[in-house]
Amino acid sequence: MPTIYIDNKPFDVKTGKNLLEACLSLGIDLPYFCWHPAMGSVGACRQCAIKVFKDEEDTRGRLVMSCMEGVKDGMRISVNDETAKAFRSQVIEWLMTNHPHDCPVCDEGGCCHLQDMTVMSGHNYRHYHFKKRTYPNQYLGPLINHEMNRCIQCYRCVRFYHDYAGGKDLNVFAAHNHVYFGREKDGVLESPFSGNLAEVCPTGVFTDKTLKEHYTRKWDLTNAPSVCQHCSLGCNTIAGERYGQLRNIVNRYNHEVNGYFLCDKGRFGYEFVNSENRITQPLIRNQPIEATEHDTVLQYMRALVTGHNLIGIGSPRASLESNYALLELVGKENFYQGVPDDLVYVEQKIVDILQSGTVHTPSLKEIEQADAVLVLGEDIWNTAPIMALAVRQSVMKTAATHTTEQLPIPTWHDAAIKELVQEDKGFLANITMLPSPLDEISSSSMKAAPDDMARLGFAIAHILNPSLPEVRNAGEELLSYAATISKALQAAKHPVIITGTSCWNNALIRAAFDIAAALDMNEKKAGLAFVMQDCNSMGLAMTRASSFDRAVAAIQRTTNVTAIILENDLYRSIPAAKADTFFNKCKHIVVLDTLHNRTTEKAHVLIPAATFAEADGTFVNNEARAQRSSQVFMPANSEIRESFKWLADIKSLVTTASNGHGKHMDDLLHALEARLPQFAGVSRVAPPHDFRIHGARIPRESHRYSGRTAMLANLTVSEPKPLQDDDSSLSYTMEGYRGLPPSPLIPFFWAPGWNSGQSVTKYQEEAGGALKGGDPGIRLFEQTTAPPVFSKDIPDAFTPRAGKWMLLPQYHIFGSGELSVYTKGIASLSAEPYVSLSRRDAEQSQLKNGDTVAVKTDGKTYTLPLSINESLPDGIILVPAGLTGMEALSWGAWVNLSTVIV
């Protein structure tokens, strides 16, 4: 470990770091703009200047940019050197020559890196007396606001959007002091990662347009650590509330999971919490006044749950606690996943693989560090966007490693690496049904039907381990792909295989496992990552409860059924006919949910559930990492409560035994661990509710939170007692412990002098490293040395059938989400319903683009406009999944396609 002398004091620093990283990691405040821990150094802003001295005798030294110089043992530097300080202050003054003095009306004010760095550099008096430069702003779509006059030309936006995330429509234009960052012309930003611009921009050029609709300063928000609800990756977020309204979502750094970035669906898809479509009161239907309140509905429920056969339908988007509370209420044998059989079948295979522990499941960070990636059958761009971003980094970093192995260029030197790397890429085989933006960086990107993708997987596994069965009747093309891919995977040190459930194909999962296990047999550290569909799909699947189809079968044998449906619009996941069959057999239907939907319409009793923002809850992500999402605010409307609390109350109607339904959520989690041992550890995901530091809770509000005594003055002039949180050690106050909280309880990032999100460095072991005390989340499955069980069963090649098409879903990052489309901006970007056929199929049916096509399935006919897809394999019909107004279809079924309605 090299020792460097900073202002004559020795410090041990890590090899391979630059001086800026070293200083920041040591806790030294050194201002910077263009450097970003995830994007490295380019030396543009010149803000991080320090002095470097040749030796102890050297008193003059040399001004250098700390981000562009690596640490060397024995090196002597000065941060406090007067010239260095003057220069840093001067850099700010230069930036300020054109920066508007509009902080009071700027959305970034109060969480602005430029403000922080200005104060840090000491610049305060303006010497520039001339006019400021001005720019026109652009319309960049419904999610991001553009205010170019504030730009300080740090180039971070293009480096993120263009270089890091692969977006093409944002760039830098013009030159000298007219450099412009934007699009070639006004228009919606195309990248689904555009929201990160608001965080990488050190000032208010790119800001969150959804926040602008209900703007609140960062310091006035009540915040809590949260977990994204919009896909299975479980990206960590910080959600902020004021006046009972969720105001924004920002990234919560987790080194192992999402790092610094979120996708736009995760960042902006929060507005459902504030929706007018929320269920705000318990309803008992079929009576003159349906709306009721807590005690009445419980009284009513007593009759429904006693003397009735209970069936509980769980939810892949409800927390583990709520699913477990339902399981406890109805009994384990009467608890079903609200998920169709075909999907449960695929998910169980995944859980089996994870539980066996034979192969390693990588975190997103590990995927970033993979040196060869095979995506087998999962459209991760749409179903797990941040994983797609991680795969992109793997491809880029592998190419960078090729060069840094040959030349002594440090890994942080982004500019030099880019010049050397040029168009070189690490290995990525993106095997999907349809083209994806990832194909641009893929070495190999075969497009095929799910069974054929699985066959490719088995062919790869066979090459890697010839004792595995051979794929019969494999074509030359498939074998040549298999040869290329297996060669690349074999050559890699850390290959990763990614697959998922969105093709509803079990063979894909088995094939992916066989590849990873075969690689491991050759002493590889292969990783096998799965993508699931919802934020707690893994948690629900791990209960190993039966599918919804089993519930339908069971209800046929039973009478007098009270069905309790937990946070699940069955019409989105189950074909309507099947859902109807179920509901028709129920005597009573009780639904707990947050928003009105087709399922809640069926409810005889409708109970208002809390959203993630109003609830504590544990969610298990795609790598079986259990993560805690904390309550951001207690709804003023006391009828809105966590489902598990409602269910506990209902449970208490029928039993006096506590069954873990104590006062605190911890009690429930302990009971869960005892009842379902596969969840051992979930009670330790976050500190218990009685955790205190120096006797204090961790405040959800900043010490600058304003209006506490005035906010409710219209109702009562005396300041009300702060709300009491019985489930976590976070408090609803400004007061409390102000040091670093345990990582699962970080409500927001702030440090003295660091008001922007850049303050995260102060929470990290080292700049860009793990959070102090370890990253939050507990992985529920251990890796074991159990021998792999390979597949024997390889599907036949996919063959189109005459007059029939296999119906498969197409996911869209914007539109397929049930909740995210409540955000107006996301709704406006959502795909319109359509149906896709291959060109050959369309031509054979004499169809052309835009023709209205009737798809017959599940006894119903859906008419949709045709969109011919040039890459789609023949014999498949694709329909977008989950768009508003589209119900669930029997994915994987063979359907008829008929008449063209002109």
Which of 507, 505, 495 lies closest to 455, judged by CA?
Answer: 507
Q: Which stretch binds other proteins (CB under 8 A): 176-184, 352-360, 362-370, 551-559?
A: 176-184
Q: Which residues contact 866 (CB under 8 A, 6 or more apart)?
A: 834, 835, 836, 837, 842, 847, 848, 849, 850, 851, 852, 853
Supply the minimum distance, in Å, between the C-beta of residue 367 and other proteins: 26
Residue 451: C-alpha distances to residues 341, 499, 503, 687, 880 (Å): 19, 13, 9, 45, 20
Nearest to 193 by CA among 444, 418, 393, 421: 393
Contacting other proteins (CB under 8 A), which of 4, 20, 75, 91?
Answer: 91
Q: Give the count of residues interacting with other proteins (CB under 8 A).
A: 42
- Of 25, 47, 546, 573, which one interacts with other proteins (CB under 8 A)? 47
Nearer to other proteins, 49 or 238 (CB): 49
Element at 428 (helix H, strand E): strand 427-431
Please, which residue, 422 or 846, has the CB nearer to other proteins? 422
CA distance 741 to 334: 40
Nearer to other proteins by C-beta: 99 or 317?
99
Indicate which single residue of 66, 115, 118, 153 sits in contact with other proteins (rule: CB under 8 A). 153
The stretch near other proteins (CB under 8 A) out of 171-179, 220-228, 346-354, 681-689 is 171-179
Q: Which is nearer to other proteins, 176 or 185 (CB)?
A: 176
Instruction: Assess 68 for contact with other proteins (CB under 8 A).
Output: yes
Give the Cβ contact number of residue 476 at 10 Å: 7
Are 564 and 311 in contact by the 8 Å Cβ rule? The answer is yes
In the bound complex, what is the minimum distance in angstroms from residue 793's beta carbon to other proteins? 47
Residue 82 burial (CB count, 10 A): 9
Note whether 90 binds other proteins by CB under 8 A. Answer: yes
Strands 860-869 and 835-838: parallel
Which one of residues 45, 434, 592, 883 is an interface residue with other proteins (CB under 8 A)? 45
Minimum CB distance to other proteins, residue 739 (Å): 35
Note whether 123 binds other proteins by CB under 8 A: no
- The answer to the question of residue 177 lying near other proteins (CB under 8 A) is yes
Q: Smallest gap, in angstroms, from Cβ of residue 684 to other proteins?
A: 46
Site for other proteins, residues 397 to 436, rule: CB under 8 A: 403, 407, 409, 413, 415-416, 419-422
Give yes or no for residue 205 binding other proteins (CB under 8 A).
no
Contact between 54 and other proteins by CB under 8 A: the answer reads no
In whole angstroms, how close is the CB of 97 to other proteins at the nearest point? 6
Q: What single string gives the DSSP state of each residue in 545-614? A: PBPHHHHHHHHHT--SEEEEEES--HHHHS-HHHHHHHHHH-SEEEEEESB--HHHHH-SEEEEBP-GGG
- Among residues 88 and 392, whose Cβ is nearest to other proteins? 88
CA–CA–CA angle 559, 560, 562 (5° rounding): 120
Nearer to other proteins, 155 or 754 (CB): 155
Q: By CB under 8 A, tell whether 130 contacts other proteins.
A: yes
The correct pick among 178, 302, 824, 856 for binding other proteins (CB under 8 A) is: 178
Write the CA distances from 420 to 164, 409, 481, integer angstroms. Answer: 16, 10, 29
3 state SS of 684: helix
Q: Which of residues 66 and 547 has its CB atom nearest to other proteins in the complex?
A: 66
How far is it, in rounded angstroms, from Cα 457 to Cα 512? 6
DSSP bridge partners of 896: 804, 856
Residue choice 11, 26, 28, 43 for contact with other proteins (CB under 8 A) = 43
Residues 6+ apart with CB under 8 A from 688: 664, 666, 729
Report if residue 127 touches other proteins, rule: CB under 8 A.
Answer: yes
Q: Give the integer Cα–Cα distance in Å for 869 and 878.
A: 9
Give the Cβ contact number of residue 148 at 10 Å.
16
**Contact region with other proteins (CB under 8 A), list: 152-160, 335-343, 468-476, 576-584:** 152-160
| Sequence-ordered list of residues with C-beta below 8 angstroms from that of 448, at least 6 positions apart, any chain | 431, 433, 456, 798, 873
What's the min distance (Å) between Cβ of 413 and other proteins?
Answer: 7
Contact between 674 and other proteins per CB under 8 A = no
**Distances 183 to 140, 161, 190, 207 between C-alpha atoms, Å:** 8, 11, 10, 16
Question: Which residue, 68 or 325, is less far from other proteins as judged by CB?
Answer: 68
Cβ 71 to other proteins shortest distance, Å: 16
- Per CB under 8 A, 179 contacts other proteins: yes
Please report which helix (H) or strand (E) contains residue 173, including its range.
Answer: strand 171-173
Q: How far is the CB of 21 from other proteins (least distance, A)?
A: 16
Pick from 378, 269, 375: which is nearest to 317 by CA? 269
* Stretch binding other proteins (CB under 8 A), from 12-20, 21-29, 92-100, 805-813: 92-100
Is the CB of 172 or the CB of 188 nearer to other proteins? Answer: 172
Q: Is 155 among the residues that bind other proteins (CB under 8 A)?
A: yes
Provide, rounded to whole angstroms, the least separation between the CB of residue 62 and other proteins: 7
Does 97 help bind other proteins (rule: CB under 8 A)? yes
Minimum CB distance to other proteins smaller for 75 or for 421: 421
CB of 766 to other proteins, least distance (A): 23
Q: Say which amino acid occupies 810.
A: Q
Tokens, residue 753: 């002098």
Nearest-approach distance from CB 59 to other proteins, in angstroms: 17
Q: Would you mind telling me the total number of residues written for the chain in this entry?
A: 902
3-class DSSP assignment, residue 208:
strand
Q: Which of the stretches 150-158, 357-365, 386-394, 494-502 binds other proteins when contact is defined by CB under 8 A? A: 150-158
The whole-angstrom separation of Cα 870 and Cα 872 is 6
Residue 542 CA to residue 355 CA, distance in Å, equals 9
Q: Choose which of 39, 42, 346, 813 interacts with other proteins (CB under 8 A).
A: 42
Q: Alpha helices, DSSP H only, in 232-293?
A: 264-268
Residue nearer to other proteins on the CB measure, 59 or 724: 59
Select from 629, 234, 193 the least CA-distant residue to 385.
193
Instruction: Enter the tokens of residue 607.
Output: 């109970």
Could you say which of 26, 28, 38, 63 contacts other proteins (CB under 8 A)?
63
For the CB of residue 702, give the shortest distance to other proteins in the complex, in Å.
Answer: 31
Residues near other proteins (CB under 8 A): 42-47, 49, 62-64, 68, 86-87, 90-91, 94-95, 97-98, 127-128, 130, 152-153, 155, 172, 174-179, 403, 407, 409, 413, 415-416, 419-422
